């Protein structure tokens, strides 16, 4: 748990609150937290969901793992400590997006249940965990960035699924199976959940 270092700090509420922003947008803010192995299809499915929501007039934003590490978290590596801080920051950023009324999609390996649970506690009912289930063998076959090959050669230390653990979600709200489903099928699963639980009228 990161300790607050700054003193004499007070959270300031604006004159426009979350309820007002959501009313303006005609939607509820929520976080779709995509988790899975490298190469499982997290970003691909998240992008497909974002596109489908956009086509239905919903405001979305995708927080992608590589993009965040190229900017906000550029000083973080892949040690356990840095991974935990990476996910902590993403949770905080996602909370701000939700407060803005945005349907927020995050695509991060986020391998540890403890870290995902921390995000769930932070976001409460606004947190929807999407487990992108894909076998390690299939992920290695895909290997779009040649990361598994490098990890097998020892060129990448602490690589999730090879030399660092991935803890499968125990009770995710949504599970998509990208080794047996098309991208469209997986995306539609997510939209169906949103339509039934979060965004009324989405499927109408």
Q: Is the pLDDT of residue 2 over 70?
A: no
Structure confidence at residue 3 as a pLDDT band (50, 70, 90)? low
Q: Is the pLDDT of residue 170 over 90?
A: yes
Structure confidence at residue 80 (pLDDT) = 83
| CB contact set of 137 (below 8 Å; sequence gap of 6+) | none
Structure confidence at residue 172 (pLDDT) = 98
pLDDT digits (tens, 9 = 90+) for 61-98: 999 988 999 998 999 988 888 989 999 999 999 999 99
Residue ranges of domains in the chain, CATH in brackets? 25-197 (3.40.50.300)
- Is 164 an active-site residue? no
In terms of C-beta density within 10 A (0-12 exposed, 13-18 middle, 19 or more buried), how is residue 15 classed? exposed
Q: Is the pLDDT of residue 197 over 70?
A: yes
In terms of C-beta density within 10 A (0-12 exposed, 13-18 middle, 19 or more buried), how is residue 24 classed? exposed
CA nearest to 201, candidates 17, 16, 71, 27 = 27
Q: Which of 40, 110, 164, 186 is catalytic?
A: 110
Q: Stretch 176-190: mean pLDDT, rounded? A: 97
**41 dihedral zone (left: phi>0; alpha: psi -120 to 50; beta):** left
Please state, rounded to an integer, the average pLDDT across all residues of the chain: 93
Q: Is the pLDDT of residue 5 over 70?
A: no
Structure confidence at residue 157 as a pLDDT band (50, 70, 90)? confident
Q: Is the pLDDT of residue 176 over 70?
A: yes
Structure confidence at residue 4 as a pLDDT band (50, 70, 90)? low
pTM score, whole prediction: 0.92
């Amino acid at each position: 748990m990161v300790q607050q270092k700054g003193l004499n700090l007070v959270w300031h509420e604006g004159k426009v609150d979350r309820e007002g922003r959501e009313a303006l947008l005609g939607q509820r803010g929520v976080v779709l937290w995509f988790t899975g192995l490298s190469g499982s299809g997290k970003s691909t499915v998240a992008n497909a969901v974002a596109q489908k929501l956009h086509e239905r007039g919903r405001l979305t934003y995708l927080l992608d793992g590589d993009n965040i590490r190229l900017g906000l978290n550029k000083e973080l590596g892949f040690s356990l400590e840095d991974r935990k801080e990476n996910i902590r920051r993403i949770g905080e950023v996602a909370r701000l997006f939700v407060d803005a009324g945005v349907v927020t999609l995050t695509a991060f390996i986020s391998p540890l249940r403890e870290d995902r649970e921390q995000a769930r506690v932070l976001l409460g009912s606004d947190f929807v965990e999407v487990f992108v289930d894909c076998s390690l063998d299939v992920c290695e076959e895909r290997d779009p960035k040649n990361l598994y090959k490098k990890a097998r050669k020892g060129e990448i230390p602490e690589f999730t699924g090879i030399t660092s653990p991935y803890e499968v979600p125990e009770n995710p709200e949504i599970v998509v199976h990208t080794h047996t489903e098309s991208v469209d099928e997986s995306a539609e699963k997510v939209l169906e959940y949103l339509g039934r639980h979060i965004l009324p009228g989405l499927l109408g």
